[in-house]
Each structure stands twice: as structure tokens, then as C-alpha cells.
Structure 1
Amino acid sequence: MIENMLFQDWSGIIRTILVGTLAYAGLVAFLRISGKRTLAKLNAFDLVVTVALGSTLATILLSESVALAEGLTAFALLIGLQYLVAKSSVGSGRIARLVRSEPRLVMHKGEILHDALRRERVTEEELLSVIRNNGSAAPEEIAAVVLESDGSFSVIPKPQDGSAADFASADLPSRG
């Protein structure tokens, strides 16, 4: 029983090497054809596609019930659907609103915007951690923190001369 967990037979290893190499080459080819946008992770939908591609590759590698042709078809389908959704969202504001979230201002001029944090389900401690990870010691040193549509945070420090920040909060959704 233990030996089956460690080694079953050479055919499984040879299949993994052969199919894995071909699946990897196929994925690289599809990604080169589809362009940089496929793995851009600009929003949650892009992240889901990236994770799904990785999961599909793992399934092709380890599941003998999935043939290489089926796996490559799955790659093509995921990349094709991502392309269609991205192209549709560029052409239609309605589709864009369905697919991606807007950035949200969660701190402005050192002031934590608690309503925005609550809406985005981010705690004040998490926000302060983001600020510290950015190299700032205190919220007063920050002009703004934006929760981006991909879930990352952009921390905009106050200018060194102490003047007001030169960023356009009008370009962001409401602060509240």
C-alpha cells in the first residue's frame, strides 16, 4: 500500500513527462497568441481565468482520464472566453460594469474612510498593514490609499514638501 503512494509504474511517469511537456508548450503558445491581456490580472475575472488555466494544466498533468486534446481545448476555451469578455467590456460600458469592479478610495489625506472600508470588507488593521508594508509609519504620511479593481492597494504618499497631494480624487469613485 505505501509503495503505491510512492511509485505506481513507469507508464504514469512517462505520461506525465510527455503530456506535461506538450500541455505546457500548448499553453505557452495559446498565451503568446492571445496577448498580454490574458494574464494581466486587471480585475477579479482575469484572476479567475489565470487560476483556471493553472488548475487545467494540473489536471492535464495528473489525471489520466483527461487527454491532451481535451486539455488543450480547455485552454483554448478559457482564453477565448476571456478574450470575448475583455473585448466586450472595452466596447460596452454595461458589460464592463458587470465584469469588473471600480477602484475605491479608502483613505484620503490621512483620514480613513470607514464607510468605504466597510463596503469593501476591509478592516482598519488590514489598511494599516498595507500602509506599513508600503514603508510608511503613519496614516498622516499618506495622501491616499486606493483599493484597486484587482484587489491590490495603491498607497500614494504625501509629497515631501508638505503640500497637498497632486492626485485627482475626481477620477476615483466617491470617497464614502
Structure 2
Amino acid sequence: MIIESLIGTTIIFVLIVVYTRLFGLKSFSKMTGFDFVITVAIGSILGMTINSGNPSILLGAAILFILYALNYTVTLLRYKSEKAENLIDNEPLILMENGEVIWENMKASKVTEAELKSKLREANVIRLKQVKAVILETTGEISVLHTNDESIEIEDYIMGDVIRKK
């Protein structure tokens, strides 16, 4: 039993390394919600296969290959087609701008005030007037852009895809 687990774990580990080399490092990125789902699914299959043997090593290897191939295909579609990208990806949403909370967007995104405050503290914001923008990213992460220099404006390129009002 221990020998089987050792061999199975080694095989699955090597396959993950090979698949990652074959399909690219982006296989484990969290740039989109889809990427995150694939990463969690890969971890789940890995854990189930090496822990319980269900699915079997062979079936686990096949499922992992399919997940990597699906992720690669979706990534390729997103890269080659703006329509596919718009269909698959969420758009980032602004939650705060120039120190002001945009309550409509908070409500639309279901982000609570406590979550917003937590992210501001994480970013070491001590005054709301320091905040240039707080953005709910496509992955569900929250980015806080802040500075002590009020004269600095965020470049349009950085904010180009961000939805201002819901």
C-alpha cells in the first residue's frame, strides 16, 4: 500500500511538472476566474488521486491532462479573440475613486464595507484621501492604488478596462 502510494504520488507529481512545462506556467496563474477554477480543480484531482487512489492514477493523469488542455484552449481563445475574452472574463470594477466609496458598485459586486476596510488596511492606507482607486479585479482580488502625492494621477492605460459605474 505504501509502495503504491509512493509510486502513484511520484507519477502524478512528474505529470504535473511535464504538463506545466508543456502547457506553460500560466496554467497556475490566477489572472482570471477561469484560471483559478482550473488551479483548484488540478489541486483537487491531485489530492484525491494520491490520497485515496480514487480516481486511479491513470484516470487522474487523464483528467489532469484534460484540465491543462482545456485551460490552454481557453487561454488561446481569449488571446486570439476579443469576443471570447469578453465572454469568458469578468471586467474589473472600481469600488473607490479619489478617496470616495462608490456605493452602487459596492452593492452590485456584493463587497462589504468591512471587506473594503480590510483591503485598505492591508495596503497600509491611513487616510482615505490617499486612495486613488480600489478595484475589484477579474479574479475577485481587490487592488488598492494609493499615494501621498495628491497631484499624481493614474495613467489611462492602468484604468482602461475598469468599469466606472455599474
What pairs up with 1:160-171 in 2 under 5 angstroms? Answer: 160-168=148-156, 169-171=159-161
* Aligned counterpart for 1:96 among listed residues 66, 85, 93: 85
Q: 1:70 to 1:164 in 2, by over 3 A?
A: same
Q: 1:64 to 1:162 in 2, by over 3 A?
A: closer
Matched, 1:35 2:24: yes
- Residue 175 (structure 1) aligns with: 165
What pairs up with 1:39-50 in 2 under 5 angstroms? Answer: 39-50=28-39
Unaligned regions of 5+ residues in structure 2, if any?
A: none
Give the letter aligned to residue 120 of structure 1.
S
Q: What is the aligned-residue identity percentage?
A: 28
| 8 Å contact from structure 2 (residues 42, 64) kept in 1 | yes
Moved over 4 A (4+): none
Deviation at 1:62, TM superposition (A): 2.1
User: What is the TM-score when the length of structure 2 is the normalising length?
Assistant: 0.91
Give the letter aligned to residue 93 of structure 2.
R
Give the letter aligned to residue 151 of structure 2.
S
What pairs up with 1:63-142 in 2 under 5 angstroms? Answer: 63-142=52-131
Deviation at 1:90, TM superposition (A): 1.7
Matched, 1:19 2:8: yes
User: What is the TM-score when the length of structure 1 is the normalising length?
Assistant: 0.86
| 8 Å contact from structure 2 (residues 94, 134) kept in 1 | yes
What pairs up with 1:47-58 in 2 under 5 angstroms? Answer: 47-58=36-47
Deviation at 1:65, TM superposition (A): 4.2
Does the residue aligned with 1:102 lie in a helix, a strand or coil? coil
| 8 Å contact from structure 2 (residues 91, 161) kept in 1 | no
| 8 Å contact from structure 2 (residues 48, 54) kept in 1 | no
Does the residue aligned with 1:135 lie in a helix, a strand or coil? coil
Unaligned regions of 5+ residues in structure 1, if any?
A: 1-10
Deviation at 1:91, TM superposition (A): 1.9
| Root mean square deviation of aligned Cα | 1.5
Q: Deviations over 1:65-105 (max 9, x none)?
A: 43222111111100001111111122222221221101111
| 8 Å contact from structure 1 (residues 128, 139) kept in 2 | no
Equivalents in 2 of 1:163, 1:145: separation in Å?
Answer: 18
Q: How many residues are aligned here?
A: 164
